[in-house]
Amino acid sequence: MEEEGLGMAAIYELSDIYRWSIDFFRLQKGDRFKIIYTERYINDSIYAGIESIEAAVFETDKTPFYAFDFKTDSINNISDYYDENGKTLRSFFLKAPVNYSRISSRFTKRRFHPVQKRWKAHKGTDYAAAYGTPIVSTANGVVIKSGYTRGNGNYVKVQHNGTYSTQYLHMTKRSVKVGQRVKQGQVIGTVGSTGLATGPHVCYRFWVNGKQVDPYKQNLPSADPLPNEKMEDYLNFIQPLKDEIDLLSFKNDDQVL
């Protein structure tokens, strides 16, 4: 970004906009970006850097991530970045990986295991749901495990960034492969009871810095979604910006890399 002439302030702003959607420690060759920004001038003549980023698209691993600055509260001057569908870029984790009927077991240091018939720690949250219910990744990330063990049954593990990863157990079917990039809400498998399970459910496990924790006890990054009544305004507002940014070419489009 520095090579492209972007000042440090703009680089920080861009990395802040995408801090919950893109892992900047895992950028790859060919990743690229476009931004539309306003510049600030003192007395209309002295250039004082980038004022704000109005729109951006950052393409990593061939997946575009759009961001549009939108004022949600003009009285209090509150604005935030949302994607092309009006989804907030800051809600890092979904509350649950599945549309569940009930939570059948919570994270606990001690519970009576229904299959093994003994007391042991349960380092996950069990969501009971019907066989075949889609299981989704609770955040953007990369699949680091997709396999089968006797205990876990069919399971998938997703790495979200250098800090967080999540795991989904007892699936009937896995629908992603190791190395695959997944988006928040993307289906990664279906509910089942493979491995050590008495009925159909997802055992959802949550890691922070390599340690399993209870996600309900974490102070997780989140943001309010765009209010429903603002959605139409938002989509109308971003349409010309999106057309404009889509028409821009990437800096290296004509270069052979």
Contact (CB, 8 A) for 85 and 70: no
Identify residue 9 by its one-letter amino acid code: A
Question: Which residues inside 126-145 make contact with Zn ion, applying CB under 5 A?
Answer: 126
User: CB under 5 A: which stretch of 49-57, 76-84, 199-207, 247-255 binds Zn ion?
Assistant: 199-207
User: CB under 5 A: which stretch of 17-25, 119-127, 133-141, 177-185 binds Zn ion?
Assistant: 119-127
Q: Does 124 bind Zn ion (CB under 5 A)?
A: yes
DSSP label at 210? T
**H-run or E-run covering 119:** strand 119-122
- Per-position DSSP letters for 148-205, written without gaps between them: EETTTEEEEEEE-SSSEEEEEEEEEEE---TT-EE-TT-EEEEEB--SS-SSSEEEEE
Q: Does 202 bind Zn ion (CB under 5 A)?
A: no
Give the strands of the sheet with 63-73, arranged side by side: 32-42, 46-60, 63-73, 78-82
Shortest CB 123 distance to Zn ion, Å: 8
Q: Does 203 bind Zn ion (CB under 5 A)?
A: yes
Shortest CB 236 distance to Zn ion, Å: 45
Judged by beta carbon, residue 141 or residue 195, the one nearer Zn ion is: 195
Judged by beta carbon, residue 57 or residue 203, the one nearer Zn ion is: 203
Note the residues at the interface with Zn ion (CB under 5 A). Answer: 124, 126, 203
